[in-house]
Amino acid sequence: MLEIGLYGLGRMGGNMARRLARGGIQVCALNRSFEVTQKLAAEEANITPCLTARDMVASLAAPRIVWLMLPAGAATDAAISELSELLSPGDLLVDGANGFYQEAMRRAGELDNLGLNFADVGVSGGIWGLANGYCLMAGGSEPVIARLKPYLQALAPTPETGWLHAGPAGSGHFTKMVHNGIEYGMMQALAEGFALMRAKQEFELDIAAIAELWRHSSVVRSWLLDLSADFLKNDQKLEGIAPVVADSGEGRWTALESINLGVPTPVMTLALMSRFASQGKGDFANQMLAMMRQGFGGHAVQK
């Protein structure tokens, strides 16, 4: 039986463990909270709960594969540092977080010096991946990805679709970074369009019905539209939802990369700026604008 270590059982990692286990793969699972690991193991026959990283490594037969699904940054750095001392030459470490591609390139070189293999895999699919499969963008050498292939196939919608060897180390996270930048732009366009229709009150438009209509044979049909139609069906006003949209960091990296490469990405960049504005980061600038209008034109300022 194939086996893999999976470290990080959050919304994505937990469901990935379930999908792997249901695909007949033995998963040695590890999470910061052991209670979460135990609960998951009680649900799935092919999941072994591990208390520590050392336990997880000891539970796997060499050469091992350990896949990280931890938050990018400090948590992933700490896990890689710990595992690099526990794993043996020939073992494979996979980073499935939304990490910065240049970090993946650096890690690949550092781990190679220790005799360890590395792959970076961009993972898309959200909370629906368990049922529908994940879209996987893998970066690494040909032998590394060949070794990882059965696991990518188990996670993907089908063994032939939904996964790709994108290129060398770093390319998986780079591709996922651009994917998320495009996602920002698509979400922004849909949100603005529905806001415009809701504002045209004289037509009394049923925006839930329009969303459902556009799902069928329209050129703007998409999974994002499917999700929009679903929540608008239950609540068209969204009055209980705060108008604050977080950004995970991938949109920022995409914008910076476009500047570095000199490639214009106005839609993706403006979508990112709109998220900043929703977080109150444009409030002072708007206060400045109000005071300037008062200064040159005597326009009233709202207190």
**What is the structure's pLDDT at 118?**
98
> In CATH, what number is assigned to the domain containing residue 51?
3.40.50.720
Residues 30, 128, single domain; the answer is: yes
Structural domain of 275: 177-205+242-290
**What is the structure's pLDDT at 249?**
85
Ramachandran quadrant class, 133 (left: phi over 0; alpha: psi -120 to 50; beta: rest): left
Last residue of a domain, one of 111, 143, 168: 168
Distance CA 229, CA 226 (A): 5
Residues 144, 193, single domain; the answer is: no
Domain count, the chain: 2
Question: What parts of the chain have a pLDDT lower than 50?
Answer: none
**What is the structure's pLDDT at 278?**
92
Half-sphere exposure of 103 (CA within 13 A, CB side): 18
Residues 28, 119, single domain; the answer is: yes
What pLDDT, in 10s, does the model give residues 60-94? 999 999 999 999 999 999 999 999 999 999 999 99
C-alpha pair distances (Å), 268 with each of 74, 186, 187, 189, 263: 27, 9, 10, 10, 12
**What is the structure's pLDDT at 299?**
87
Q: Catalytic residue numbers?
A: 176, 183
